[in-house]
């Protein structure tokens, strides 16, 4: 996918629709939230690149870490030879036609709209990989600031693909856990009482709370309680305390 350098002649409403599609695509992209926020900041010209730091009188003389040229947003993501190599490496490794830097916008003037146009036209796979690469490329350059060489384009692309895969697997596990969590309650065998417990933990304050309910084999309520705990080091402690509370209550009720 290429970004069109030339003006399209479209009027405002058409432009707004295209930009809207770009925003929708970005927020729907299957990538970690941090990567989306990063590209959002890129589109809004909210990233601290060299020329922007100078324009805001924050810091002068920040040059490209890879080639020592003036560091602009366009240079950092698309124009720098290192960035050109990143997109080429992405194409080689995935077989997808990623954006060609020579087809990118040349000024900030319409960067906002052009990038949104581009995002809106990518298919799902290109979109998620592109967003992740832009984020990882940014991090790789930041990591290189402390006398450490910037990672090679191939390493950045491979890292992006691996992290994306890792994130997807974690998402899948989370969905499976949530699916399991909505399974229907099953009563215990006849003559038995079942305890269900749950705990909540607030790490910032080191406190937790638990709730529990005892039910018989008909599903009838036998007893329930909730407790608040202080000086809790981790969530597992709350879960254990909830189980202990259930056992104490079951003994008290002689069930």
Identity of the residue, 67 or 96, whose beta carbon is nearer to Zn ion in the bound complex: 67
Identity of the residue, 84 or 243, whose beta carbon is nearer to Zn ion in the bound complex: 84
Identity of the residue, 72 or 130, whose beta carbon is nearer to Zn ion in the bound complex: 72
Give least dist CB 58 to Zn ion, A.
Answer: 20
Give least dist CB 94 to Zn ion, A.
Answer: 23
What are φ and ψ of residue 116, in 5° steps?
-65, -40
Identify whether the C-beta of residue 191 lies closer than 8 Å to the C-beta of residue 217. Answer: yes
Residues lying near Zn ion in the complex (CB under 5 A) are found at 64, 66-67, 69, 80
Give least dist CB 76 to Zn ion, A.
Answer: 7
Give least dist CB 82 to Zn ion, A.
Answer: 6
Task: Please give the angle made by the CA atoms of 168, 174 and 175, to the nearest 5 degrees.
Answer: 90
Closest CA to 119 of 46, 38, 7, 18: 18
Identity of the residue, 67 or 200, whose beta carbon is nearer to Zn ion in the bound complex: 67
Identity of the residue, 69 or 173, whose beta carbon is nearer to Zn ion in the bound complex: 69
Give least dist CB 144 to Zn ion, A.
Answer: 11
Q: Provide DSSP, 45-113.
A: T-S--HHHHHHTTS-S--B-TTT-SB--HHIIIIISHHHHHHHHHHHHHH---PPPGGGS-SSSTTHHH
CA distance 252 to 86: 67
Closest CA to 205 of 242, 233, 236, 241: 233
Give least dist CB 67 to Zn ion, A.
Answer: 3
Identity of the residue, 66 or 212, whose beta carbon is nearer to Zn ion in the bound complex: 66
CA 157 to chain centre: 17
DSSP conformational letter for 76: I
Residue 48, Ramachandran bin (φ over 0: left; ψ between -120 and 50: alpha; else beta): beta
CA distance 108 to 75: 11
């Amino acid at each position: 996918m290429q970004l069109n350098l030339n003006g399209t002649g479209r009027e405002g409403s058409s432009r707004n629709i295209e930009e809207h599609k770009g925003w929708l695509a970005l927020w729907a992209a299957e990538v970690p939230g941090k990567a989306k926020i990063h590209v959002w900041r890129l589109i809004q010209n909210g990233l601290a690149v060299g020329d922007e730091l100078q324009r805001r009188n924050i810091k002068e003389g920040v040059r490209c870490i890879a080639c020592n040229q003036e560091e602009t947003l366009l240079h950092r993501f698309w124009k720098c030879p290192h960035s050109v190599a990143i997109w080429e490496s992405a194409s080689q490794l995935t077989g997808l036609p990623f954006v060609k830097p020579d087809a990118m916008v040349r000024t900030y003037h319409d960067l906002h709209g052009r990038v949104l146009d581009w995002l809106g036209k990518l298919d799902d796979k290109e979109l998620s990989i592109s967003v992740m690469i832009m984020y990882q490329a940014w991090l790789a350059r930041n990591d290189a600031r402390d006398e450490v060489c910037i990672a090679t384009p191939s390493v950045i692309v491979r890292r992006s693909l691996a992290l994306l895969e890792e994130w997807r697997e974690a998402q899948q596990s989370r969905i499976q856990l949530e699916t399991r969590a909505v399974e229907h309650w099953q009563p215990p065998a006849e003559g038995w009482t079942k305890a269900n417990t749950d705990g909540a933990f607030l790490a910032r304050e080191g406190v937790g709370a638990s709730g529990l309910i005892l039910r018989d084999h008909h599903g009838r309520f036998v007893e329930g309680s909730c407790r608040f705990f202080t000086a809790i080091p981790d969530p597992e402690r709350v879960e254990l305390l909830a189980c202990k509370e259930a056992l104490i209550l079951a003994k008290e009720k002689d069930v």
